[in-house]
Structure 1
Amino acid sequence: MSTAYPPVSLTDEMFDFHALLKPEEIEWAMKARDFAQTQIRPVIENDFDTKYFRAELIPQIAQQGFLGMHLKGYGCGGASAVSYGLVCLETEAVDSGWRTFISVMGSLAMSAIYKYGSEEQKNHWLPQMAKGEKLGCFGLTEPHGGSDPANMKTTAVRDGDGWVLNGSKRWIGLATLADICIVWAQTDEGVRGFIVPTETPGFLATAIDGKLSMRASIQCDIELTNVRVSADAQLPEAKGLGAPLGCLNEARYGIIWGAMGAARACLDVAIERSRTREVFGKPIGSFQLTQAKLADMTVEYEKGVLLALHIGRQKDAGTLNLTQISVGKLNNVREAIKIACEARTILGGDGITGEFPVMRHMANLESVRTYEGTDEIHQLVIGRALTGLNAFS
């Protein structure tokens, strides 16, 4: 595969970001870009309008090697953190929902098994999930308050040689399609994780309707009513709340990159529109105010991608300060939303239509801003690191 990084916009050409990447990282990015632009982009506006999750693309995504690509062994790709980040960027440049799918599978469900599962669990589930033959979801968030997992109400009680789970989960991606759910529950020994087959009696997943964001993907409510699992369903190394939070950090890392993909897509169409839309007898891109907007958006995009790369290099080196994940998620999602909003102004009234992807990205990014930690949660993480004082409670 060629290592030439194909230009998408003048921003990419001016930025020369590829000069900072290794050949294998560029290859992963090119593969993701080609797949996203040719297989997802042509249908995503219609899928968003009709609230359709195009599950028939899952085998193709698995064939590209994107599912659990950053995990080593067990049929997974063993790619670098930076390579995984670039795949997230290129996928979210088309739609946040598809980056979320890759994240739910690889950063959440598969990572939970990889980090905390037994060898038997890893060998059984991970190769099937990497091939897309089995799908997983991640049951942590609860209806009463997603930002307070320490107040988890779902319980798992020992019963003979197994466990009985009861409780509710909300905003669980992929749950109606998943074969297994990683359910986090309170036990008499603290928070523990369980691999729960979704066909188990008492497990009920219901897709959430009425969404104005993430319409081309699936998020669900889950009800657990006397769900009985065997002892070997427990993830043996998942002990305490730090276990699910460790998976969330993997997902947050992908968001740092993905949000910049959405930002780039909005910037791309704003640049193109500024050249072709004419007012007062000339292209709007020839006006100083429009150029100032494009310049400011480009600066924030470049800063965000450089921040993502820095965090990715730290992750690959094993030196990542987890507070940096909060810095990246807070900054990049917030700036991506600003870029999308500013791009919409350049598109004028047409910017609110499905002819352009900007309003779809804006709506999706509002969800991205909320999940895996709201702005406020990440501000408190950063504030705690700066002051040494805990303001969470």
Structure 2
Amino acid sequence: MASVLSILAFVFLLFFIFYRRLSLHTGAVVLVLAWLLLGLSSPIFLHPLSLLTLFAGLALLLYTPLRIRVLSAPAMAGLKKMMPPMSDTEREALDAGTTWWEKELFSGRPDWSVFEEIDLSELTAEEQAFIDGETNELCALLSEWQIHHESKDLSPEVWQFIKDKGFLGLIIPPAYGGLGFSAYAQSRVVSKIASRSTVAAVTVMVPNSLGPGELLLKYGSDEQKNYWLPRLAKGDELPCFGLTSPEAGSDAGAIPDTGVVCEQDYDGKRVLGVKLNFSKRWITLAPVATVVGLAFRLSDPDGLIGNEVERGISCALVPATLPGVEIGRRHNPGSAFMNGPITGEDVFIPMDMLIGGQDYIGQGWRMLVECLGAGRGVSLPALSTAGGEMSYLLVGAFARIRRQFGIPVGKFEGVQEASAEIAASAYMLEAYRALVTRALEDGAPSVLTAMAKYHATESLRGVVNHSMDILGGRGVQMGPRNFMALVYQTVPIAITVEGANILTRSMIIFGQGAMRCHPYLADELAALSDESADALPRFDGLLMAHLGHTAEVFSRGILLGLSGGLLAKPKCGNSELSARWYRHINRYSAVFAASADIALLTLGGDLKRRELLSARLGDVHSQLVIACAILKFHDAQTPDEANALHAEYALKHCFMSMNTALAAYYRNLPIKALGVTLKAAFFPWGMPQWTPSDDEVRALGELIMQPSSVRNLLADKVYLSPDPEDAQGRILYTYQLLAAVEKDYEHFLSLDKQGELAGDSVAEKLASAVAGGQLNQAQADAIAAYDDCRYDSLLTDAFDASLDKVDVRPLRPEA
């Protein structure tokens, strides 16, 4: 028995050494002393074979020449055979961008003092004034039904307003005539417009995300900036960017479009330039663009600029008026924003039209990946956030207005199950937006923005589907009254652009995340490809550090699992709720880091092809980031029950998603016993059950229908039409009337149900209530006004036989 206890004590000592990440030499001293002390109670530790094993192991670890020969050199040789070759395109994509808080979460031991110092972005007075002024004015000009089904475009008035007021120059510095807004302000502008019209929002966001403007700002020459940026800011030039080709979509590295270095006459002079042949599709703003940003493969067969023939992917600015450029046709993506193909045959451009000039030849893929951050981290999440917030406000209001079986439909628990998901998702999207745009102030975090694009657009898909379930026919029947169907129709667009979601989840988030966020992996791979004399010693140091890291996070995962996360007490947050959830994040960060390392160590290069496993690890990493965003946002708000309830529900959703991903990951590891062992080690008491209780579902389902601090918070971020004849305004106006009259209205319905009122119509019954003294005339008039609006808000549009013109509206039977 004493021997068993001694062995257990030794095992826990090892966990402690790894948990505290003691240095190799300090850990060795502690280990030897503990070994000798334990030998006093258990002779097994002093057995000659045990001592030989101990000191042989320590010699292997501490004596570098022996370690390199016995351990590191064979490991290096084996890994070189296991790792698949990496293309230049893959290497450029992995090297592009920066990292931020997501790297700390990948470490398994986040430095919470760093996170505590992060303050969420706020609007400047100028940015707030623009949102309250010009952005609201633009929203008031927009009718999504008219844009989609009548004009098939923004009106000339709206186009001119967008140009004149600087919406196309949100990111361009004032020195070039732009507004120079922050990423957060840009997101707020785009989402407010999107709350009114997706078409207008897309029109504004494209020039301010992946397009010539951003590429010029980061890589353009002074001459290019001085010429193009003022024209782009004023709307004198309309840009688009041509990346996707008919046979190169998500595999953008396989761009078939070509440019050949040559000399040709241009503007009466013989100049060095590039002859382009290209065919692009799905290019937003292409039909109306005056300048095309273009990605293509450049070659120099005649050696005019160097000795290399293939010069890699490059980017250029191509005026749409150049001979050979064909532009103007439109695709029909199910939304009326300008989108179409661009082709070019033997289009000649001088060298000064290459973005950045000849210095950036061959760097186009890195340039593009680094500039994807705005589209992935700002624009598309802004669209999703607006959709989530409008669903919260409108569907919550509708669920309170619409009655079935004598009660508001939002009171039914089945409906509350869906409406609670809408509420939590809308809260999460706003929180996520706040954190990601803050990250963009510090750089271009490529992994974080890929997470944002995927999870924001997928959340919108879920929100809109739940909304359509609650709205029923009111959401299905198209017409100028329908406030949801056009959003539903545009969701697939957000899912597919800026990297298709399937690819983003299964390959990019963890694949790029492991390379950029893991403490040692990228450096180890660089050492593997290094043929110099110091490559092996450098790899040896990295390998030992990596093994120590693996032992640390493995130990943390086990000990935090045994304690239910109680051992982790990060000094972060300002409430009991946040303190509790930060402990859980700490625990799951260690579990994730250990699980990722196990996958990297056992699968090696094969993990690249194990997309399902990679996707699940990416899900865990993403949800850790989202949970941090929710807590940071929660702590930044005025504490109250509504804020806490939304945050708690959203956090449980994060951890449910993590549990699902981890369980599937362990279950599907190629070595089945390893998966079983890992799950048992990290979750010895079983996986925590994070499913919201029925009480929480009911509470949040009720809260989405009521005035609250969260409703006010979300309403502040979108445009709410005051027009009772507007698709959105009709619901919100009726909701406001109900809030003022609900008590009297419920009393009236109760009297009618009890048979105390005479008459058949609402008017007759109200007159009976007044005559009987159950209501006064003012109450009756208010109820009548509300009931007329209530009925009108439930109607869907009817059309003539051609579905062209709206016909007379249905009338109430009693009218």
Q: Same fold (TM over 0.5)?
A: yes
Aligned-partner Cα distance in 2 for 1:86–1:210 = 27
Q: What is the CA–CA distance in structure 2 between the aligned matches of 1:55 and 1:158, rounded to whole Å?
A: 42
Please name the residue that 1:217 is paired with.
Answer: 337
1:300 Cα deviation from its structure 2 partner: 0.9
Give the match for residue 262 of structure 2.
159
Aligned to 1:241, what secondary structure does the other structure show?
helix
Alpha-carbon shift at residue 71 of structure 1 (Å): 2.9
Asked if structure 1 preserves the Cα contact closer than 8 Å seen for 2:212 and 2:317, the reply is: no
The one of 209, 216, 221 equivalent to 1:113 is 216
Higher mean alpha-carbon deviation, 29-38 vs 233-242, is at 29-38
Partner SS for 1:141: coil
Write out per-residue CA displacement over residues 96-153 of structure 1, whole angstroms, 9 at most, x where no aligned residue: 3222212221222211222222111111111111111111110111111310111011
How many residues of Structure 1 are paired with residues of Structure 2 in the alignment?
A: 370
* CA distance 1:247–1:32, change in 2 (3 Å): farther
Paired residue secondary structure (2:327): strand
Q: Deviations over 1:319-358 (max 9, x none)?
A: 5532110111111100111111111122111201232221
Match of residue 292 from structure 2:
181
Is 2:268 aligned against 1:143? no
User: Could you tell which deviates more after superposition, 355-364 or 47-56?
Assistant: 47-56
Q: 1:110 to 1:321 in 2, by over 3 A?
A: closer
User: Which residue of 507, 511, 514 corresponds with 1:384?
Assistant: 511
Cα deviation for residue 272 of structure 1 reads: 2.1
Equivalent in the alignment of 2:172 = 71
Task: Pick one of 50, 54, 66 that aligns with 2:154.
Answer: 54
Quote the Cα distance in structure 1 between the aligned partners of 2:324 and 2:465. Answer: 44
The reply to whether residue 202 of structure 1 matches residue 324 of structure 2 is yes
Contact 1:59/1:131, CA 8 A, preserved across alignment: no
**2:485 pairs with one of 348, 352, 359:** 359
Go from structure 1 to structure 2 and tell me whether the alpha carbon gap of 1:322 and 1:209 turns closer, same or farther (over 3 Å shift).
Answer: closer
| 1:196-345 alignment, distance < 5 Å | 196-211=318-333, 213-214=334-335, 216-235=336-355, 236=357, 238=360, 239-253=363-377, 254-316=379-441, 318-319=442-443, 321-345=445-469
Amino acid at match of 1:200: L
- State the AA in 1 paired with 2:420: A
Q: In structure 2, what is the equivalent of residue 7 of structure 1?
A: none
CA contact (8 A) 2:331 2:341 kept: no
Shift of 1:281: 2.1
- The separation in 2 between residues aligned to 1:203 and 1:22, in whole angstroms, is 41
Structure 1-normalised TM-score?
0.88
- State how far apart, in whole Å, the 2-side matches of 1:315 and 1:386 are: 17
Counterpart residue identity of residue 204, structure 1 = E
Separation in structure 1 between the aligned mates of residue 444 and residue 213 of structure 2, nearest angstrom? 21
Instruction: Judge conservation of contact 2:325–2:342 (CA < 8 Å) in 1.
Output: yes
1:248 Cα offset (Å): 2.2
In the other structure, the counterpart of 1:192 is: 314
Q: Kindly indicate whether the alpha-carbon contact (under 8 Å) linking 1:96 and 1:365 is maintained by their aligned counterparts in 2.
A: no
Across the aligned residues of Structure 1 and Structure 2, the Cα RMSD in angstroms comes to 2.2
Judge which range, 27-36 or 103-112, deviates more.
Answer: 27-36
| One-letter amino acid matched to 1:182 | G
Mapped partners of 2:449, 2:328: distance in 1 = 31
| 3-state SS in 1 of match to 2:463 | helix
CA distance, structure 2, for counterparts of residue 304 and residue 178 of structure 1: 32
Question: What's the secondary structure of 2:608's corresponding residue?
Answer: coil
1:94 Cα deviation from its structure 2 partner = 2.0
Partner Cα separation in structure 1 for residue 293 and residue 444 of structure 2: 26
Letter in 1 for 2:373: N
In 1: Cα distance, 2:289 partner to 2:512 partner: 37
- For the pair 1:131 / 2:131, whether they are aligned, the reply is no
Q: Structure 1 residues 137 and 319 mapped into 2: Cα distance closer, same or farther (>3 Å)?
A: closer
Change (3 A) 1:173 1:363: same
Partners of 2:187 and 2:382 within 8 A in 1 = yes
Q: 1:96 matched to which residue of 2?
A: 198
**Counterpart in the other structure of 1:14:** none
Report the Cα distance in structure 1 between the residues aligned to 2:186 and 2:192, rounded to whole angstroms.
10
Give, in angstroms, the shift of residue 28 of structure 1. 4.2
Check the 8 A contact 1:141/1:171 in 2, yes or no: yes
Distance 1:324 1:260, change over 3 A: same
Paired with 1:123 and 1:29, the residues of 2 have a C-alpha distance of: 28
Q: State how far apart, in whole Å, the 1-side matches of 2:139 and 2:323 are.
A: 40
The DSSP-based 3-state class of the residue aligned with 1:169 is strand
TM superposition shift of 1:50: 3.4
Q: Which runs of 5+ in 2 are unaligned?
A: 1-119, 264-271, 300-310, 516-604, 612-815
CA contact (8 A) 2:147 2:154 kept: yes
Query: 1:133, 1:386 → 2: CA distance?
Result: 40
- Partners of 2:353 and 2:511 in 1: how far apart? 36
Q: CA deviation at 1:62?
A: 2.9
Looking at structure 2, the residues matched to 60 and 210 of structure 1 have their Cα atoms a distance apart, in angstroms, of 25
How many Å separate the matches in 1 of 2:224 and 2:453? 31
Residue 33 of structure 1: CA displacement?
4.9
Between Structure 1 and Structure 2, the one with more strand by share is: 1
Change beyond 3 A, Cα 1:339–1:190 = same
User: Larger relative contact order (C-alpha < 8 A, sep ≥ 6)?
Assistant: 1
Q: Provide the rounded CA distance (Å) in 1 between the counterparts of 2:123 and 2:447.
A: 26
Work out the CA distance in 1 between the residues paired with 2:129 and 2:417.
34
Which of 173, 181, 184 does residue 82 from structure 1 map onto?
A: 184
How many Å separate the matches in 2 of 1:366 and 1:68?
27
* Bigger radius of gyration among the two: 2
Question: 1:285-318 CA deviation, whole Å, 9 max, x = no partner?
Answer: 23233233222211111111111110111111x1
Structure 2 distance, partners of 1:32, 1:257, is 18
TM-score (norm 2): 0.44
Per the alignment, do residues 36 and 299 of structure 1 end up closer, same or farther by CA in structure 2, a change over 3 Å counting?
farther
Query: What is the CA–CA distance in structure 2 between the aligned matches of 1:351 and 1:246, rounded to whole Å?
Result: 39
State the alpha-carbon separation in 1 of the partners of residues 155 and 149 from structure 2. 16
User: What SS is found at the alignment partner of 2:164?
Assistant: helix
Q: CA contact under 8 A between 2:475 and 2:485: conserved in structure 1? A: yes
Q: Secondary structure at the match of 2:168?
A: coil
Take 2:469 and 2:135, find their aligned partners in 1: how far apart are those partners? 27
Contact 2:457–2:491 at 8 Å: present in 1 too? yes
Q: 1:171: which partner in 2? A: 282
Amino acid in the other structure paired with 1:391: K
1:362-390: CA deviation from partner (whole Å, max 9, x where unpaired): 11121011000111232122111454467
Percent identity between the aligned chains? 23
Task: State how far apart, in whole Å, the 1-side matches of 2:121 and 2:397 are.
Answer: 26
The one-character-per-residue Cα deviations of 1:67-102 (angstroms, maximum 9, x if unpaired) are 231232311111111111111211222233222212
CA 321–245 in structure 1, closer or farther in 2 if over 3 Å, else same:
closer
Aligned residue identity for 2:344: L
